[in-house]
């Protein structure tokens, strides 16, 4: 039994493109969860979810819509970026550890949003699950022989090995909350390969993750 499990927030952004400073956030999704032990295995336990469209100052390019299936009509009445990131920060709370797959991308867009919409910047640590995956499973390759640590590839692999509970639906990928649920499952499955139950305690988890490149970054530094 984990006496004091940490609170995590797996989050994901959908954007108008890949260039921070030019492109903008159009959706924020997040899943707040903790961990518990079931049948001798550490598993995630969802507490609540967050999802909001964000109204950008630009039209959504067709290339972006083809990936995330978000259209201009869907964001027309959405909160503006300043309100959206404030609501996201309130959802996360001060004591949560944030997780993102390729955190440099998501963090850079959040930093840009805070720069353009000045307000209190939360100080939560943000941990990159992609760096953890590359450290724990450095040999992982796809059918072409190329190294692959993409979230969907990891989720499908863990599902085949019966290491995650959720069903994987490729049609739902690249929508923020679904990707967050996948991230939650993949993150726990990855670290379960290396961490002991006591490592999942609030007082131990940051140090335990750091051994596997789970070194936090911060929006306010």
Mind telling me the catalytic residues? 174
Using CA atoms, how far apart are residues 111 and 20, in angstroms rounded to an integer?
9
| Residue 85 · residue 113 · CB < 8 Å | yes
Structure tokens at 100: 């993102």
Burial letters 139-160, b for 16+ CB under 10 A, else e: eeeeeeeeebbebbebbbbbbe
Using CA atoms, how far apart are residues 186 and 165, in angstroms rounded to an integer?
10
Question: What count of Cα atoms within 13 Å lies in the side-chain half-sphere of residue 218?
Answer: 8
Quickly tell me which residue has 């039209």 as its tokens: 59
Nearest to 164 by CA among 44, 48, 58, 34: 44
Residue 25 bridge partners (DSSP): 15
E strands in 39-135: 41-53, 97-100, 126-128
Residues written for the chain: 221
Burial letters 14-42, b for 16+ CB under 10 A, else e: bbbeeebeebbbbbbbbbbbbbeeeeeeb
């Amino acid at each position: 039994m984990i006496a004091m499990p940490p609170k995590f927030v797996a989050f994901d952004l959908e954007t108008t493109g890949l260039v921070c400073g030019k492109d903008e956030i159009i959706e924020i999704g997040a899943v707040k969860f903790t961990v518990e032990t079931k049948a001798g295995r550490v598993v995630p336990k969802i507490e609540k979810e967050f999802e909001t469209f964000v109204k950008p100052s630009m039209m959504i390019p067709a290339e972006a819509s083809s990936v995330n299936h978000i259209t201009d009509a869907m964001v027309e009445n959405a909160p503006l970026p300043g309100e959206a990131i404030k609501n996201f920060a309130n959802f996360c709370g001060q004591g949560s550890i944030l997780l993102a797959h390729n955190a440099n991308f998501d963090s850079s867009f959040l930093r840009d949003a805070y720069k353009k919409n000045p307000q209190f910047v939360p100080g939560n640590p943000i941990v990159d699950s992609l760096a953890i995956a590359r450290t724990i499973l450095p040999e992982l390759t796809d059918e072409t022989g190329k190294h692959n640590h993409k979230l969907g590839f990891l989720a499908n692999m863990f599902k085949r090995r019966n290491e995650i509970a959720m069903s994987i639906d490729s049609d739902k990928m690249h929508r923020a909350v679904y990707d967050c649920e996948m991230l939650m499952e993949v993150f726990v499955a990855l670290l379960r390969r290396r961490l002991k139950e006591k490592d999942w305690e609030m007082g131990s988890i940051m140090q335990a993750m750091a051994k596997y490149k789970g070194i936090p970054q911060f929006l306010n530094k």
